[in-house]
Amino acid sequence: MRSDNVTKGPERAPNRSLFYALGYTPEELERPLIGVVSAYSEIVPGHMNLDKLADAVKAGVRMAGGTPILIPAIGVCDGIAMGHEGMKYSLASRELICDSVETMFMAHQLDGLVLVPNCDKIVPGMLMAALRLNVPTVVCSGGPMLAGRYDGQEVSLSKMFEAVGAYKAGLIDDEKLEECTENCCPGCGSCSGMYTANSMNCLCEAIGIALPGNGTIPAVYAKRLQLAKKAGMAVMNLVEKGITSRDIVNEKSIRNALACDMALGCSTNTVLHLLAIAHEAGVKLDLSIFNEVSAQVPNLCHLAPAGPTHMPDLDAAGGIPAVQAELAKKGLLDLSLMTVTGHTMGENIQGAVNRNHNAIRPIEDPYSPNGGLQILWGNIAPGGCVVKRSAVAPEMQKHSGPARVFNSEEEAIEAIYNSRIRPGDVVVIRYEGPKGGPGMREMLNPTSALAGMKLDTSVALITDGRFSGASRGASIGHVSPEAASGGPIGLVQEGDTITIDIPNASITLEVSEEELARRKAAYVQPEPKVKSGWLARYARLVTSADQGAVLE
């Protein structure tokens, strides 16, 4: 075992003495040492229950003959970080988390990992580290929040951001805004729609690195604690059999995850994270594969913000196994692949039943014959860009309109709040990419403001930044190359016509090549927005969004 490097032999007596200082016994040091990496904190609603979950994981490890060791991890709450300079740190924190998990594991020579994250960048950051290390690993997430209640309906965080837009437009008053504020997020867990956190937790299950139920069992259910105990036991089975993270996460299992991504209608951020996860797993994955899978896999779910259902509805309908069972009817999954249960994907979903056709459409009657995400290409995005097609109104699947150009999120939101955006416009927000932001901020404020003002069916938004999974409408992000890297989005001028054709995967700036060449010759690159601190270092090292925004 790797832990022999710190526990065995007379040469390691000094190392053992420090374990004894921690209260470990010789008997505990004879067992495999399992890192339980918990992102518990008192600043993230999705993480406020992770202390209890980590304790349950530790109990499972002990029951199966291992010695659990709790290790901390940071985590940003994207909702609290939204709309100000704090959001610059969110995506960048993914790399910090990855590096810190690698550091703690290698410095202390552990034998396996149970990862206990929940929210947006923490899940992929931890998983990236496990794949980089290639060690026995189980992901056990914190679980989704229950839906809130507002105005007689079930709601979640996206409704809160849209309520701000409605307030700014004079559609609701102070009292209604406060009612929504107090009731949309009822307690612990990752926000209840198919936003990025829940998307990644579901995809961990779909890829096989998490136990069935990981993506959908609500945070407050006892089943979530039971799942954590089983995760602790499962990692011990992996250690005993020598099954590592890259045995489970490989080219075929990533394709399984992509199929579930398209069926579920996951966040556009899954594109960034799956690219980064594949990079750490040594798997070649490019944007064209997303459209290839999307063309084959129908969209079966319309969870918030695309529709009225929430994560507890998906769980009650049978969860990810029920979605996988629907996909398996048409041979859209490789069911032979090993998972952390010790069984194949096919064995895991035996007996899975779709119990609610409102939450999971039968594959014979999908919302659409294509998947929830679409990659677009064109002269404004030669490296591609991404849209959550399943959350775009039918009338916006094809759209052409004048560009309204802004060089930051703040400029755009000020224009939106002051009613300077008109139906038919195409809002362009640039210099918000991985380098230009830096940190590629999520922009839920402008998308939700447009939705709250009832403009999401007539106004498109294009950015080299990215969107929250809670965004809906023709919100097209990850434009690559970004403006700060000399991408054509930096050449767009106010009033230029931009044509969007989501079904045909195209996006076009209606300007001649000669005119673009003239603009490029006259272009002057702006000064970096951040010149000190680790974000400045991040900006120098980060790659393009179409490469997963990983560090060089």
11-22 residue pLDDT tens? 999 999 999 999
Query: At how many degrees (to 10) do helices 174-183 and 157-168 cross?
Result: 170
List residues bridging with 329 in a β-sheet: none
Asked if residue 209 has pLDDT above 90, the reply is yes
Cα separations in angstroms, 244 against 52, 132, 239, 381? 26, 11, 8, 38
Confidence category of residue 458, pLDDT binned at 50, 70, 90: very high
- Over the chain, what is the mean pLDDT? 97
Of 127-141, 171-185, 398-412, 462-476, minimum mean pLDDT range: 462-476
**Cα gap 333→337, rounded to integer Å:** 10
Confidence category of residue 367, pLDDT binned at 50, 70, 90: very high
Determine the pLDDT at residue 489. Answer: 98
Full-model pTM: 0.96
CA–centroid distance for 547 within its chain:
15
- Average pLDDT (44-71) is 98
122-165 residue pLDDT tens? 999 999 999 999 999 999 999 999 999 999 999 999 999 899 98
- The number of beta carbons lying within 10 Å of the beta carbon of residue 363 is 19
User: Rounded to the nearest 10 degrees, how much is the dihedral formed by the CA atoms of 117, 253, 283, 243?
Assistant: 70
Confidence category of residue 471, pLDDT binned at 50, 70, 90: confident
- Average pLDDT (321-350) is 98
Instruction: Pick the closest to residue 88 from 99, 76, 72 (CA basis).
Output: 76
Measured between its terminal Cα atoms, the distance across the chain in Å is 32
Cα separations in angstroms, 440 against 197, 367, 412, 432, 543? 17, 31, 15, 5, 11
Q: Are 211 and 227 in contact (CB under 8 A)?
A: yes
Instruction: Pick the closest to residue 442 from 93, 166, 90 (CA basis).
Output: 90
Q: Are 233 and 226 in contact (CB under 8 A)?
A: no
Determine the pLDDT at residue 468. Answer: 87
- Average pLDDT (319-329) is 98
Instruction: Pick the closest to residue 89 from 412, 390, 434, 344 (CA basis).
Output: 434
Instruction: Pick the closest to residue 136 from 256, 254, 33, 271 (CA basis).
Output: 33
Determine the pLDDT at residue 461. Answer: 97
Residue positions annotated with a catalytic role: 468
Number of residues in the chain:
552
Asked if residue 185 has pLDDT above 90, the reply is yes
210-259 residue pLDDT tens? 999 999 999 999 999 999 999 999 999 999 999 999 999 999 999 999 99
Determine the pLDDT at residue 470. Answer: 83
Work out the percent of the chain whose per-residue pLDDT is above 70. 100
Looking at residue 439, its amino acid is G
